[in-house]
Structure 1
Amino acid sequence: MADATTGGTRRPTQLPRGRHGLSREEVVRSQRDRILLALAEATAERGYAATPVAEVLRRAGVSRETFYELFSSKDEAFAAAYDRAVELLLQRITQGHAAAGEAPQDDGARMARVEALLTGYLDALADEPAFARVFLIEAHAAGPEPTRRRYETQRGIAVLIADLLDAHSDAQRFACESLVASISALVTARIATGEDVRGLRAPLLELLRRSGDLFGDLPAA
C-alpha cells in the first residue's frame, strides 16, 4: 500500500493512476485507510456535524460510490475512525507497557511500568491529534454509541492502571478510576485548545509518587 510515515504511524496516500500491481484487497485497504484518516482530519477541523461526506471524499481522493461500498453512512465511517483511534492509542500504551515489563522486578519496576503507560498514552495523543480529537471530543458529537464506547475504553484503561498499581481495595480501585477520568478531562482540554499534552507527564507522575497508598502499592516518594 502506498503510504508515508509521520509520528510513528503509517499514513496512507492516494494510489497512482493506471497499473500499480496491487491486489483488490490492498486497494480496498488503502481506500478505507484514506477515508478514515480524511474523516478524522476533517472532523478535527470542522466538527463532526459540520463535516459532509463530500469533504471526506475530497480529502481521501475516493469516489462517492467507493465510500458507500465500504460504509453505509457517515456514522458507520466515524465508528470505524473511532476504532482506529482506539487501536492507535492502545498500541502505543501496550508497546510502552511491554518494554517496561522487561525491567527487573525491583521496588521501582511498578512505577516504571506506570510511567511507560502514561508516556505512551500522551505520546499517542500528541502524535495523532486528529484521531485524538475523534476519541476525546467528537465521539460525544457523534451520538450515544460512540460516547458509550469511549467510556468503555476509559474503564478498561482504569482497570489496567489499577492492576499496575496493585490496587487491592474497592477504595483504591475507585481512586484509579477517578484518576483516569481526571487525566481524560485534562488531556481533552489541552487537545481542544491545541496545547501539548506531553506537559502533563511530569506533574501526573509527581502526583502518583506523592500519593502514598491512595491508588495502590507504590514505592514511597
Structure 2
Amino acid sequence: MSDSASKLRQLPRGRHRLSREQVAESQRERILIAMGEAMTDGGYVGTPVAAILKLAGVSRETFYELFRSKEDCFTAAFDRVSALLAARLQLTIAEIADADGVTRMDRILGDYFDHMIDDPASARLFLVEVYAVGPAAIEARMALQKRFVDVVTAMLGAETDEQRFACATLAAAIGAMTTGRIAADDFDGLRALKAPLIELARRSGAVYGTAFA
C-alpha cells in the first residue's frame, strides 16, 4: 500500500493561516484518497472506517463531520476518481481531434491505461470494489461506463446507430478486460491490450466508425 494518502496536502505543523474551509478541504481530500488505499487490503466490506482514518490522519469526529457513512465516503471517492479520469480523456480527445485512427486509439487507450496504472488504488475502487457497495454505487458505475462509451465513439468516429452499438460492445469488453487486470495487479497485461485492440479496430474497417473506414 502506498503512503500517498498521508502525504497529499498535509497541513503545516503548528499554527497556520489556513481558513476553516481550506482545512476541511485538505482533510476531505486525504480521506477520499485513503478510502481507495485502505481497500487494497480488505476490499470495501473488510475495510473499517478506522483504517481510513489511520491512513488519512484525521479523527473519527472529522470523518463524520464530512461524511454521513462509509458508503457516503465511497460515493464521494468514486465521483472524484471518475471526474479525474473523464477530465484526462476529454483533454486527450480535444488534442487529437484531427489525428488518424491509429494515433487516436494509441493516445486515448494509452492515457486510459496509464491512468489506471498511475493510481491502481483508485482504479480498483471504481472498477472492482464498486460492486460490493450497493445498488446506488452500481448505478453510478453504469453511468460512468456510458461516458466511456462516448469516449470510444469519439475515438472511432461512430456516426450510425449500428456503429455506436458496436462501440458500446467494444467499450464493455475494454472495461471487463481492464477490470480483470487491475484486480490481478497485472499492469504489464493491461499495457499489452493496446496493440491488439488497435489491430482489431483496424481490421474491422467501418464497423465501429469512420476512423478505419
Instruction: Mark yes or no: TM-score above 0.5.
Output: yes
Task: State the percentage of identical aligned residues.
Answer: 47
Structure 1, 166-175 or 187-196: larger mean CA deviation? 166-175
1:79 to 75, 78, 89: 75
The alignment status of 1:206 with 2:206, answered yes or no, reads no
Q: Which residue of 2 aligns with 1:24?
A: 20
Tell me whether 1:133 sits opposite 2:124 in the alignment.
Answer: yes
Partner residue of 2:42?
A: 46
Matched residue, 2:161: 170
The answer for the alignment partner of 1:68 in structure 2 is 64
State the Cα deviation string for residues 52-95 of structure 1 (Å, max 9, x = none): 01111111110011000000110100000101110221122122
Cα separation, 1, equivalents of 2:144 and 2:58: 31
Shift of 1:13: 4.3
Find the aligned partners of 2:156 and 2:108 in 1 and give their Cα distance. Answer: 12
TM-score using structure 2 length? 0.90
**Runs of at least 4 residues off by over 6 Å:** none
Q: Does the CA-based 8 Å contact 1:165-1:215 persist in structure 2? A: yes
- 1:152-180 alpha-carbon deviations (Å, 9 max, x no partner): 11112212322342223222111100000
Contact preservation (8 Å) 2:164, 2:208: yes
Which residue identity does 1:159 align to in structure 2? Answer: D
> What residue identity is the alignment partner of 2:121?
A
Distance between the aligned counterparts of 1:98 and 1:25, measured in 2? 34
Superposed, which structure 2 residues align to 1:153-164 within 5 Å? 153-164=144-155
Structure 2: tracts of 5 or more residues without a match: none
Q: Which amino acid aligns with 2:203?
A: R
Distance in 1 separating the partners of 2:101 and 2:123: 27
Q: Which residue of 2 aligns with 1:3?
A: none
Q: Distance in 1 between matches of 2:90 and 2:44?
A: 29
Single out whichever of 184-193 and 20-29 deviates more from structure 2.
20-29
Cα shift at 1:46? 1.1
Gaps of 5+ in 1: 1-5
Distance 1:121 1:54 in 2: 32
Kept in 2: contact 1:38–1:59 (CA 8 A): yes
Give the number of the structure whose residues are more often helix, by fraction. 2
Does the 8 Å CA contact 2:100/2:211 hold for their aligned counterparts?
Answer: no
The one-letter amino acid paired with 1:135 is F
Q: Which residue of 2 aligns with 1:98?
A: 94
**Alignment match, 1:215:** 208
CA RMSD of aligned residues (A): 1.7
Q: Partners in 2 of 1:148 and 1:44 — Cα distance? A: 22
Equivalent in the alignment of 1:186 = 177
Structure 1 counterpart of 2:128, which letter?
I
Q: Distance in 2 between matches of 1:169 and 1:91?
A: 26
